[in-house]
Amino acid sequence: MSKGRGWFVVRRLGVVLSSLVAASMLVFVFLNVLPGSPAEVILGTQSTPASVAALTIQLGLNKPIWRQYLDWMGGLVNGNFGVSYISGQSIGHEIHQALLVTGPLVLLAMLIGLVIGVPLGLTGALYKGRWLGSVVGGLSQIGIAIPSVVAGILLTVGLSIKLHLFPSSGFPGWQDPWGSLRALVLPAFALGVVEGAILARYIRAAVMEQLRSDYLRTARSKGLRRSQALRRHGLRVAAIPVVTVLGLEIASLIVGAIVVENIFALPGVGMMLLNAVNNRDLIVVQDIAMVVVTAVLLINTLVDLSYQWLDPRLRGRR
Amino acid sequence: MALLKLQSLSVAHGDLDLVSDVSFDVHAGERVGIIGESGSGKSLTALAIAGLLGEELRSRGSVHFDGEELIGASERHLSRLRGDRIAMIFQEPMTALTPTKRVGVQIGETLRIHRGVGRRASQIAAVELLGRVEFSDPQRYARMYPHELSGGQRQRVMIALAIAGDPDLILADEPTTALDVTVQRKILELLDRLVREENCALVLIAHDLAVVSTICDRVVTMYGGRVVETGSVADIIDHPRHPYTAALLATSSAIAVDVESRGTVLPSIPGSVPSAGHFPGGCPFRDRCSSATSACLEFPLMESGSHRVACWHPLDENSERGSR
Amino acid sequence: MLKSRKTVIVAVALALTTFGFVGSGLASASAPTTLVIGSQVAPPGLDPTSNASAAIDEVFDYNVYQHLYQLNPKGQLVPTLATSYTLSPNGLTYTFKLRSGVQFSNGDAFTAKNVVFSLNRAADPANGYPYQSLVSDVASVTAPSDTTAVVTLTHADSQFLYNLAAYSNGVILDPNAVSTIATQPVGTGPFTFVSMVPNYDIVLAGSPTFWGTPPAMRQIIWQYFANPTTMDSALQSGQIQVIDNLNSPSNVSAFKGNSAFQIIAGPTNGKIDLTVNNSKGPLKSLKVRQALYYALNRPAILKTVGAGYGTVISSDQVPGDPWYTPSVNSTYAYNPTKAKALLKAAGYPHGFTLTLSVPPYSYATEAAPLVQAMFAAVGVKVIIKPISWPLWISNVFLGSQNYQLTIIDQVEARDIPEYGDCSYYFNYAGCKAVNQMINAANQATSDAAMVTGYKAVVKKINADVANFWLYNPDQLTVAAKDVIGLPSGGLTESFNMQYLARSGTLSPSLIAQGFLN
Ligand code: SF4
């Protein structure tokens, strides 16, 4: 069985790698057919056909497109993200810095989502049909309906401008770990509240299904109370759909991070991406796209591996 | 005094009674079979005894177990009885075991709950129990997951799980229905042997009289959520008095001697069991009963005595089975 | 189960209280020698010589990099790295006397060689300076001594010194530091670059090698807010002390009447234009352009879009220009009746349809519907087409110039020569004539003659309605009450930070130059 699992991992990695190559081509082609060139944006209203042509050559954008692709991919394979057309800065360094903001932001948001979603979902399932269950159901409905923009603004006004509990925006950098964490709390809440509401619904559904399952009844027939039986016998299976949703939600959290970083003025990957798109800083956009695709693929792989850990029935298959 | 005494037990879903006015006793060490087609309320009766009805179902009446009233008892109190004094065996071995836990752990859990036994000791006990349910290599099987076992093996695990707590009463809800015919017999023999060894009372639910007749002392026939006949196995098999019992008997595989040699198809009871709430008023069986008369528009009261029946036109006490 | 749920709730509550209360205790007021300035558009890089982005110039020009001459907030020339200059009578040779004892922030000495290097670098098209064309008439730059630099032009250019001072092509560089100019700016200015977090902030520190009086602010942080509401709350909550310019002037209401803040509305070089493609369809007709210009209620547009901060203009001129002719601005006053009559006379009694390409800037998106309504009132239908900035550059400004109308703030100072550029996207039919007029004015040897020449251009393009000039917007700086030394307006690309302070008073000479006390 362990050999089978090893093979599974190897095959998964193969799938991940080929997906990455496919994604890189797609991203590259898509960005290169976008109208507007970096040279024009750099020169702005000082552009003339001659100056744009000269800068295009200087930036190496006159090379054939396949050559540009290979140069870029060659760099990536060697861990070199290249240099921004616009700022002339090393992109790898910039992405690294931005990930140090977005990574913790997304993780914190996910944590907040779990802290909100797990108790809400469990309560909703265990108290289904009673008033507490209805209240919880209503809360999660509201949570799902709130876009994170609105949640962000409400939190900013309430907790930072009115109460001065948290900074309304900005990020001091990790040399000030406490300040940085504080700066991430509101944005993470803005992201995580919606997350938690969605999770709560899935957890509630998954737990309710477990509560109806035959084996939970067996567990109770052995002398476990309902909640004990659920915890010892049901949660692990209930975790499977929840983990799936969690994996999918990571992607939506990364998208949400773009919005939230914008509102809270955080120097994260989302902001970097937005600005790079606006500036037609193609290599930066390509690099970020690849980082995000890699992250999502890895998370999906982890999710698949976790299925096997969670449910022995899935081991040694595939 | 009876170990288990049911008096006017009813199970309702909202305003609809799915089980009505069920009363019977089970004495210590006695083995009682409940028969009836699916939809007759026998499984709900068993679940009501154990307090394991679904959220949406409510029970009324009385379930006395060893002098205690179980209807209305707290979940905490019931959970102390379950597994320890009352154990259950379920119909679907495929789904009744937790897929994510090794069978040894699942068997040992009963002991850990009620006896305060540690992980290691419970494992040793689980292996021993697996041996008792005739696993040839219990050490190995204890480490397996349910999906790695066959249906019969899983049902043996269920039995091991049930006897683990050395209960006074086992409620077995169609324990063999989902299994192959050849496996069925083995499981029944095993159950029979273990119940005898443990000297434990058994309520065996089946839709097949043959299954009940092999190991039970007494039979309760249910139809439409009501008890329609009860008596000793000999009484019921030799002299069924309720037309429904007689019909069940006629369709029963093993009792309709040498079915295969006769080469005939099993006769079946005409009509089908209505869904809950669609049984006719009066005698619930009257739209399938060939003896029905206008009297049957009233529900027939249960007679008293050891062989009791609820029918306006019971079959002759002395008539041979199957013939009317 | 219950227990674990309780634990979770307690943990959350604990996290909230510790983050909240302990954290707020840590937040301390900024030291009086530190200032945080908020701005909306983050610079795309650090190098003003390779990117036209105004956000780079705003921070680095004058503050980190210096010119021979610079502009004060009133738009006047101030000797900086030069102490004086003489111009040969034929207007071709500038001889600059240079300041001595000046060091770059890396310790290198500033001499005339730096001037030679920097101006040659700017003039060479291969280096891709965004404003290269403004110094394309430099014939030679020499350094007869360490403190003398001589610039010879191919032809007289009355705007040469102004252009050298106003635009980043005039920055004086250290050749030893040019290879790392994208990441490690080195200049002679009052501030040095410390660090940048892309799209987030830029940190500058007072330069230890600065030749002048050290700036009072030892650290200035530029923080960038893509979301203007967030920036406003940052100022209100004291996280930042200055907003360089409110891009949506209507946001000023958040600070008006609050004694904790000062609002500074000062002139800029910007011309918010409803730009006309003079070569497209009905817009080719002068009568049509006149009609449409009459149809625009420009004071109303200024009031709505600019919150009233600015000056209605009717030609390519702003109050800071030497040739500013206020009387021109009273032409084409709002007159829909006249507009309709002119349209009829032009052969369009039933109007026509125009497409308005709107780039993603708040003034453009806010003005577009007003324009649409005003034109509709005279029977001309306007289709609003939002367009991204890169696409605007590619399709409207360059290439096919495939547009009829667009709205843009032409921010460059004294850019009226653009009307003499026949390839420019106005496609103005009078370009050749204007070009000749401008060349003549530039070669004038007296200032008076130059001004007269430009005034003629101002009037000609107004008469030809080469464009629909809407208004000259003010720069709206909002700052905490205690900040002094802020520039009084936006007549320079640079946001000059040299005299910023949070206590004391400014010298009268600085106040005279347009720094605010
Ligand atoms: S009561 Fe009537 S209908 Fe019911 S079983 Fe007896 S005979 Fe049949």
pLDDT for C140-154, tens place per residue?
999 999 999 999 999
State the burial class of residue C310 (Cβ atoms within 10 Å of its Cβ: 0-12, 13-18, 19+): buried
Chain centroid, CA C372 distance in Å: 27
User: What is the reported pLDDT for B288?
Assistant: 87
Residue B266 Cα to ligand 1 middle (Å): 23
Say yes or no for a CB contact (<8 Å) between C390 and A35. yes
Window 128-187 of A, Cβ < 8 Å to C = 153, 156-157, 159-161, 163-171, 173, 178-179, 181-182, 185
Q: What is the mean pLDDT of residues B34-48?
A: 89
Q: Which residue has the higher pLDDT, C176 or C389?
A: C176
Instruction: With cut-offs at 50, 70 and 90, classify the pLDDT of residue B10.
Output: very high
Mean pLDDT of C406-434: 91
Q: Which atom of ligand 1 is nearest to the CA of B242?
A: 5
Tell me the nearest-neighbour CA distance from A303 into chain C, angstroms.
24
Q: What count of other Cβ atoms lies within 10 Å of the Cβ of residue C511?
A: 16
Please state which of the ranges C33-47, C122-136, C265-279, C500-514 shows the lowest mean pLDDT. Answer: C122-136
From the CA of A221, how many Å to the nearest CA of chain B? 5
Closest by Cα among C157, C181, C178, C160 to C170: C160
The HSE-up count of residue A61 (CA atoms within 13 Å, CB side) is 22
Architecture (CATH level 2) of domain C1-61+189-268+475-517: 3-Layer(aba) Sandwich (3.40)
Please, what is the Cα angle at B277 between B274 and B280, to 5 degrees? 65
A178/chain C closest Cα distance in angstroms: 8
Mean of the pLDDT values across residues B26-54? 90
Distance of alpha carbon C302 from its chain centroid, rounded?
19
Of the listed ranges B24-38, C27-41, C110-124, C356-370, the one predicted with least confidence: C27-41
C6 pLDDT tier (thresholds 50, 70, 90): very low
Q: What is the average pLDDT value for chain B, to the nearest integer?
A: 85
Highest mean pLDDT among A111-115, B160-164, C23-27, C101-105: C101-105
Question: Which element (helix H / strand E) includes A272?
Answer: helix A269-278
C26: pLDDT strictly greater than 60: no
Residue nearest to atom 3 of ligand 1 (CA): B286
Mutate to test the interface with A, among B13, B74, B79, B148 (most CBs of A within 10 A): B79
pLDDT digits (tens, 9 = 90+) for B121-180: 889 999 999 998 888 999 999 999 998 998 889 988 999 999 888 899 999 998 888 778
Instruction: Determine the atom of ligand 1 nearest the C-alpha atom of B293.
Output: 2
- Which residues, including other chains, have CB under 8 Å from residue C274's CB and lie 6 or more apart? C296, C356, C367, C371, C405, C406, C407, C467, C468, C470
Length of chain A equals: 318
Place of tokens 């030609």: C315
Residues 6+ apart with CB under 8 A from B178: B91, B92, B93, B94, B151, B155
Is B in contact with A (3 or more beta carbon pairs below 8 Å)? Answer: yes
pTM higher than the cut 0.95: no
Count CB pairs under 8 A between chains A and C.
197
3-state secondary structure of B255: coil
User: What's the complex ipTM?
Assistant: 0.84
- Judged against a pLDDT cut of 80, whether residue B229 lies above it is answered with yes
Assign C292 a pLDDT band (cuts: 50, 70, 90): very high
* CA–CA min distance A239, chain C (Å): 16
Closest ligand 1 atom to residue B286 Cα is 3
- C142 to chain A, minimum CA–CA distance in Å? 26
Give chain A positions within 8 Å (CB) of B147: 312-313
> Confidence band (pLDDT; 50, 70, 90) for B264?
very low
**C-alpha B51, offset from chain centre:** 15
Which of A114-123, A166-175, C374-383 is predicted with the least confidence, judged by mean pLDDT? A166-175
Q: CB under 6 Å to ligand 1: residues?
A: B 242-243, 283, 285-286, 289, 291-292, 296, 300, 311-313
Q: Quick one: average pLDDT of B259-274?
A: 58
By the 10 Å C-beta count (0-12 exposed, 13-18 middle, 19+ buried), A118 is classed as buried
Q: Quick check: C296 pLDDT over 70?
A: yes
Q: What is the pLDDT of residue C7?
A: 38
A258 touches C: beta carbon within 8 Å: no
Q: How would CATH label the architecture of C271-473?
A: Roll (3.10)
- Rounded CA-CA distance B191/C335 in Å is 104
In sequence order, the β-bridge partners of residue C94 are C87, C151
Q: Identify the CA nearest to A222 among candidates B47, B108, B118.
A: B108
Instruction: State the residue for tokens 């309710």.
Output: A208
- Distance between CA atoms of residues C471 and C310, nearest Å: 7
Q: How far is CA C223 from the centre of its chain?
A: 18
Would you say residue C498 has pLDDT above 90? yes
Superfamily of domain B4-216: P-loop containing nucleotide triphosphate hydrolases (3.40.50.300)
From the candidates A1, A210, A222, which should be mutated to test the interface with B, based on the most B CB atoms within 10 A? Answer: A222
Domain range summary for chain C, segments of one domain joined by +: 1-61+189-268+475-517, 65-187, 271-473
Chains B and C touch (3+ CB pairs under 8 A): no
Strand partners for C515: C487
Structure tokens at B98: 């937790």
Closest chain C residue to A157 measured between Cα atoms? C233
Is the pLDDT at C360 greater than 90? The verdict is no
Instruction: Tell me what pLDDT residue C458 has.
Output: 95
pLDDT at C21: 34
Predicted pLDDT at C371: 95
> Do the Cβ atoms of A157 and A78 come closer than 8 Å?
no
| Contacts B96 to A, Cβ<8 Å | 214-215, 217-218
The model's pLDDT over A1-13, given as tens digits with 9 standing for 90+, comes to 445 667 777 887 8
Phi, psi of A34 (to 5 degrees): -60, 135
Instruction: Determine whether the interchain pair C197/A228 forms a contact, defined as Cβ–Cβ distance below 8 Å.
Output: no
Residue B324 is predicted with a pLDDT of 37
Q: Which two tokens stand for residue C101?
A: 């004892």
- Mean pLDDT in chain A? 81
**Dihedral over Cα of B193, B195, B199, B203: its sign:** negative
pLDDT given for residue B299 in this prediction? 85
pLDDT recorded at residue A161: 58
Give the nearest ligand 1 atom to B314 CA.
6
Half-sphere exposure of C304 (CA within 13 A, CB side): 13
Reported as a pLDDT band with limits 50, 70 and 90, residue C426 is: very high
Q: How confident is the model at residue C433 (pLDDT cuts 50, 70, 90)?
A: very high
What is the 8-class DSSP label of residue B82? B
Of the candidates B76, B79, B96, which has its C-beta nearest A215's C-beta? Answer: B96
Residues of chain B with C-beta less than 8 angstroms from the C-beta of A233: 98, 100-101
**Residue B322's pLDDT is what?**
42
> Residues of C with CB below 8 A from A88's CB?
45-47, 50, 181-183
Dist CA C24 CA C20 (whole Å): 6
pLDDT at A157: 61
| Ligand 1: centre distance to CA B203 (Å) | 26
Percentage of chain C lying above the pLDDT 70 cut:
94
The domain ranges of chain B are: 4-216, 243-324
* Mean pLDDT (whole number) for C232-259: 89
Q: Which CATH class is domain C65-187?
A: alpha beta
Strand blocks (E) in B77-211: 86-89, 169-173, 201-206
Cβ-defined contact of C198 to A164 (cutoff 8 Å): no
> A70 and chain C: CB distance < 8 Å anywhere?
no
Distance CA C478, CA C163 (A): 28
pLDDT at B51 over 80: yes
Please answer whether residues C94 and C87 qualify as being in contact, where contact means their C-beta atoms are separated by less than 8 angstroms: yes
